[in-house]
Chain A
């Protein structure tokens, strides 16, 4: 019997410490009701009213245990996240696990800026929350709380989720589009020449490459293909010359890397101390290095 009692006490203490409670606006309503009942009872030592008062109070109090228990068995498990860029909305995902045999009710999972509400959690559920990271590099996970006002609305129960891991946030992709950069590079290196023929228009093709005669003849949209485009496969980005400040440079490179990935182009980035090559490293590895620059 003794270990069971100890286990029960430990369990109760654990529930009490791991789930916090905060009063809501309804607590004022409860106070007003209790005061009104008290005066009604006090005036004439009216025991039915006293019992009502004590019942209301006791239900409000014992409801707290059930409110804590409602959240106690819930936990969040971090899921692998998609690429996260600075100053862009990221969809962070967790698995909300209910370890208890009974469902949890009226639960919301919140960060500072977003929340998701679940009326009933019987099994595991995926939670998706939006968050915008301001800085690139290693970032802490946003503070997440699991909240509930169940069973009674006068108290809000909170279970704070502390994520030990950090998130790597890539630089914000922005700057000159890849196509413009290529044009610029070409103008530095010579004329548009070495016409090789026409091919099916791709979305990434600039408007100046559209082959209008094909279109005018009623055919499908085509674009002109020059030999210089083949050079794209071996694009070279120079960290120091691509923008003015380090952050702008990182953002610029990030944009180009993503565009290169979209178009399936290989690239080389010359950093002040290193050179990254897309043939040797994956795009994510290069982005991670840029993020931690």
Chain B
């Protein structure tokens, strides 16, 4: 209650220095995570000094100047060369640290100059070099609002609430203009790029181009997001959500590896009738770029080979956003297979996999691929993410003739070997198989737990047929996962939906705000030019925004008339309004009722006016009743 009262107290207006301190604290927050610990120590020391010291003497300034110099030297000891400073990130970090020292020294003098006043804005602008995230967006907007609030609080010398209302009004009034400018301001740069800083992004692990066979070989099945995909139209059938990564031909017992030879690039494939979508791929420090199976073109600075594997020129160490065009099919046309591919796609080890080889002797080659699949099913394998008893020296035999429990890599490696033994060239494709449960509207999230491996079998003179080997498992064991979060989400669909909605909102903001580019602008313009409904929607949004801003302003500035006399006379004003007499905002009751009296000659109104004034402005409480009675009489 006391706190609430203080918000309305006009005597508690902070000084200019206090307001500036608040602005400085707000603006340096993101830098605390960037600057070196010694610089943070320096800032803490100066804050402690400011709190406990009454005055700053010359020697104090000298000590802090010296300490600042030392902090700077230690912060940039490794890069303290002009060559180092040529790097933008180092240079900006250096400027920020220098600004810290300058601000501390100026603040210690307890004198406010222009540079000190301007420093919060500088800190904010410099923090943009390091962060390009949704958090930063909200932080920036909040800080700008706070700067406005602090400035107004200083200028109004009023209560916090009065300044807050004014700041909020100005801010809300600005929103339509901000949105409009954001949408229509010409974007000259074509693509969003960052400044080369990646302080806010963590490198995620992903496929390394091989497939390990061990029972603990699979990536930790975590909920970490690998990529996000938004489709222009509805999401395709969940059975088609295969994201192609690497293609593996060589069985190295404990792992499968790709061909050593570089495969030729894919010849041009027309994008007609292709499925279009946008992918946000989080950094995984490898070169693979994922597309729905099978992609038709690679993004810029990436290649696509004739196995439809897309690789970037450099490892993906930053968030990568690209357009995808795919032909969704479980069959890849390739009428002639190269000798190299055929050689490796038929290679198997009958000595190592002797038991499987023996089992394959019972396979009737005339039954073709269907017979092979039936033969595979007859192995009665079970699916589990926690297999046991896989011998890395004899992985296939130990899987199918041991516990018969494995997951996608074991199923894929077994079937690929079986196909080879049956005379079908085969290969393993690793990537992701997205879950239908991870979709929201036209948005799809692919997580690390969606990592998958499947087999492609070559059908002579036709092409590669995808085989989902895990679908031949006779049963799927319940996943024994020790991650509480996953368990909770599985048990609680509501939690899962909330999480997915949050991710969708985040993704929408990311793609339509942070990644808003010239192409998106053009796309929007095209939609507006072609679709009158879209124009109306946009106009409606702006009208709603403006009306909302106006209403909020009115509400925040409206002083409620609470005096009993006003409540009593209110019905009179309503009735007069119906008769065409509207009391203007700045008109006093006396002026208004006089005006009405002159036009109507209604003597009772004069009486009401006099009694209103007497009841309202005199101390006598017994005047309320006569006033109420006259009003009631007039209303009747």
Task: List B contacts of A62 (CB < 8 A).
Answer: 170, 173-174, 177
Which of A33, A52, A65, A150 contacts B128 (CB under 8 A)? A52
Chain B interface, DSSP helix/strand/loop, else mixed:
helix
Among A77-126, those with CB < 8 Å from B are 99-103, 105-106, 119-120
The distance in angstroms between the C-alpha atoms of A61 and B156, with both chains bound, is 19
Are B144 and A55 in contact, CB atoms less than 8 angstroms apart? yes
A76, chain B: closest CB distance, angstroms: 15
Are B169 and A48 in contact, CB atoms less than 8 angstroms apart? no
Which of B125, B171, B195 contacts A44 (CB under 8 A)? B195
Among B151-186, those with CB < 8 Å from A are 151-152, 155-158, 166, 169-171, 173-175, 177-178, 181-182, 185
Are A51 and B141 in contact, CB atoms less than 8 angstroms apart? yes
Which of A54, A73, A101, A150 contacts B177 (CB under 8 A)? A54
The answer to whether A35 has its CB under 8 Å from any CB of chain B is no
Are A151 and B174 in contact, CB atoms less than 8 angstroms apart? no
Are B125 and A36 in contact, CB atoms less than 8 angstroms apart? yes
Among A43-84, those with CB < 8 Å from B are 43-52, 54-59, 61-63, 65-66, 73
* A21-57 Cβ-contact flags toward B at 8 Å (1 or 0): 0000000000001001100101111111111101111
A71, chain B: closest CB distance, angstroms: 14
Q: In this complex, what residue of A is CB-closest to B173?
A: A62
Given contacts A47-B513, A48-B514, A59-B174, 16 further A-B contacts (CB under 8 A): A42-B188, A45-B189, A45-B193, A46-B194, A47-B514, A48-B128, A54-B178, A55-B178, A58-B174, A58-B175, A62-B174, A101-B557, A102-B557, A120-B157, A120-B158, A151-B170
Task: List A contacts of B557 (CB < 8 A).
Answer: 101-102
The answer to whether B618 has its CB under 8 Å from any CB of chain A is no
Are B174 and A52 in contact, CB atoms less than 8 angstroms apart? no
Which of B121, B132, B191, B516 contacts A33 (CB under 8 A)? B121
The distance in angstroms between the C-alpha atoms of A151 and B173, with both chains bound, is 14
Are A40 and B125 in contact, CB atoms less than 8 angstroms apart? yes
Number of interface residues of A (CB under 8 A): 40
Are B195 and A57 in contact, CB atoms less than 8 angstroms apart? no
Task: List B contacts of A42 (CB < 8 A).
Answer: 188-189
Q: In this complex, what residue of B is CB-closest to A106?
A: B155
* B107-138 Cβ-contact flags toward A at 8 Å (1 or 0): 00000000000000100110010011000110
Are A63 and B170 in contact, CB atoms less than 8 angstroms apart? yes
Task: List B contacts of A119 (CB < 8 A).
Answer: 157
B181, chain A: closest CB distance, angstroms: 4
Assuming the contacts A54-B178, A59-B174, A66-B169, asked whether A48 and B158 have C-beta atoms less than 8 A apart, the reply is no
Task: List A contacts of B156 (CB < 8 A).
Answer: 105-106, 120, 150
Most buried by B among A51, A63, A99, A105: A51
Are B128 and A151 in contact, CB atoms less than 8 angstroms apart? no
The distance in angstroms between the C-alpha atoms of A58 and B549, with both chains bound, is 13
Task: List A contacts of B559 (CB < 8 A).
Answer: 101-102
The answer to whether A269 has its CB under 8 Å from any CB of chain B is no
Assuming the contacts A55-B141, A151-B152, asked whether A49 and B177 have C-beta atoms less than 8 A apart, the reply is no
Task: List A contacts of B128 (CB < 8 A).
Answer: 40, 46, 48-49, 52
Chain A interface, DSSP helix/strand/loop, else mixed:
helix
Task: List A contacts of B192 (CB < 8 A).
Answer: 44-47
The answer to whether B16 has its CB under 8 Å from any CB of chain A is no
Task: List B contacts of A66 (CB < 8 A).
Answer: 166, 169-170, 173
The answer to whether A152 has its CB under 8 Å from any CB of chain B is yes
The distance in angstroms between the C-alpha atoms of A18 and B538, with both chains bound, is 33
* B446-484 Cβ-contact flags toward A at 8 Å (1 or 0): 000000000000000000000000000000000000000
The distance in angstroms between the C-alpha atoms of A105 and B153, with both chains bound, is 11
By Cβ-Cβ distance, the 7 closest A-B pairs, closest first, are: A58-B174, A45-B189, A62-B173, A58-B177, A54-B181, A99-B586, A44-B193
Task: List B contacts of A8 (CB < 8 A).
Answer: 550
Task: List A contacts of B137 (CB < 8 A).
Answer: 47-48, 51
B261, chain A: closest CB distance, angstroms: 38
Task: List A contacts of B169 (CB < 8 A).
Answer: 66
The distance in angstroms between the C-alpha atoms of A72 and B357, with both chains bound, is 94
Are A65 and B173 in contact, CB atoms less than 8 angstroms apart? yes
Q: In this complex, what residue of A is CB-closest to B137?
A: A48
Are B177 and A61 in contact, CB atoms less than 8 angstroms apart? yes
The distance in angstroms between the C-alpha atoms of A73 and B585, with both chains bound, is 11
The answer to whether B342 has its CB under 8 Å from any CB of chain A is no
Which of B174, B178, B182, B189 contacts A43 (CB under 8 A)? B189
Which of B132, B157, B174, B185 contacts A55 (CB under 8 A)? B174
Task: List A contacts of B132 (CB < 8 A).
Answer: 46, 48
The distance in angstroms between the C-alpha atoms of A50 and B178, with both chains bound, is 10
Are A59 and B144 in contact, CB atoms less than 8 angstroms apart? yes
The distance in angstroms between the C-alpha atoms of A37 and B126, with both chains bound, is 11
Are B151 and A152 in contact, CB atoms less than 8 angstroms apart? yes
The distance in angstroms between the C-alpha atoms of A236 and B137, with both chains bound, is 86
The distance in angstroms between the C-alpha atoms of A44 and B550, with both chains bound, is 35
The distance in angstroms between the C-alpha atoms of A57 and B176, with both chains bound, is 12
The distance in angstroms between the C-alpha atoms of A33 and B118, with both chains bound, is 11
Among B525-577, those with CB < 8 Å from A are 550, 557, 559
